[in-house]
Amino acid sequence: MAEDQQSKRFCSEKVGDGLINNLPDELICHILSFLLTKDACKTSVLSKRWKSLYTMAPNLHFELQNKKENNFVNAIFCRRTQNIKKLKIHRLKYSQTDHSNFDLWILKALDLDVMELDLKLVKYNGNIILPHKLFRSESLVVLKLGSPFKFQTLLSSFRPYLPSLKILHITLCIVSVLDIKDFIPLYELIYGCPHLEELGLEQYIGLDFLRFSLPFLKRLCLNYTEPLKPSTGYSEIIKFIKEKENLHKSQLLPFRSLHYLWIGITQYCNMDLIIRVLQKTPTLKVLVVQEKV
């Protein structure tokens, strides 16, 4: 920061000390929203003006490592009274005791009309239960569930409805045939997103996604990352899938707006199914097929 810089500034305009310090609050908040909330929070010590500036950043992003961090996430949420546009929580371990916190955070975000929700809770062997309110949110535009969520909590009498949802990414958890039979709630969920433009499914095997009627769907990504465990009735699963497919052969609905299709395949995948999908995507422009070993 030498005299060189000073003269440069004089050329453009007289802005006084600190070029960016004279930026409007909203611009600074915009920059802060690209940082982890933990880092954005540190800016509170910079100066009086910055003391609460970070609380206006519309995005919250947590990469949680351990339970101790729950407290400060709680603190952040308590202080929030305004708009949360985007909430992203990635956590390495989730246990039953975290459940109430987790619920609280999501509900608070929903109350504040969150538009984008990105949740990833890795390495958990139980049921992650999501609040029902989530599936009736009118503000949600993007929903990304990056861990295997079991959909048992979507009761058959409960109708998910996400009118603003444009992007949906889900990871399914398939351990047995029963899990595939549980897909009904998943179909209900997708049915409840009439304006969906992008759909991403992890572990899509066995899914009767062809039942989906999604007239606005532009992008479809089907990924398959983990092989089925042979010990848990693998052959049963394959048999079940084959039976279902024969049943629904004629009911393939075309994806009229689809122009991007990404498929990750393995040796267990049924190529017939994929071929039929391709036959029903007349507007397809980009096709990516990736093989997983």
Partner 1 sequence: MASSSSNLISLKTSDGTVFKVERALAKTMKTVQAIIEEADANIYMIPIHNVFSHHMDMIIDYYKLSVAGKSKEFSVEKLDNDELKDFLLAVHYLNMEDLFEVLTQAVADRLEKKSVGYVRKYFGIENDFTPEEYAAIRKKNDWAFKGDDIEPEEDEEKQEE
Closest CA to 162 of 117, 221, 100, 126: 117
- Minimum CB separation of residue 45 from partner 1 in Å reads 5
Nearer to partner 1, 45 or 271 (CB): 45
- Minimum CB separation of residue 89 from partner 1 in Å reads 16
Nearer to partner 1, 61 or 108 (CB): 61
- Minimum CB separation of residue 117 from partner 1 in Å reads 20
Going 19 to 25 to 26 to 28, the CA torsion angle's sign is positive
- Minimum CB separation of residue 102 from partner 1 in Å reads 18
Nearer to partner 1, 49 or 133 (CB): 49
> Given the rule CB under 8 A, which residues bind partner 1?
1, 5, 8, 11-13, 17-21, 23, 27, 30-32, 34-36, 38-39, 41-51, 65, 69, 71-72, 75
CB 200 within 8 A of CB 172: no
Strand partners, 64: 91
Residue tagged 């848990």 (tokens): 232
- Minimum CB separation of residue 27 from partner 1 in Å reads 7
Spell out the SS3 assignment of 86-124. EEEEEECCCCHHHHHHHHHHHHHHHHCCCCEEEEEECCC
Say how far apart CA 146 and CA 59 lie, in whole Å: 18
Nearer to partner 1, 4 or 243 (CB): 4
Nearer to partner 1, 50 or 268 (CB): 50
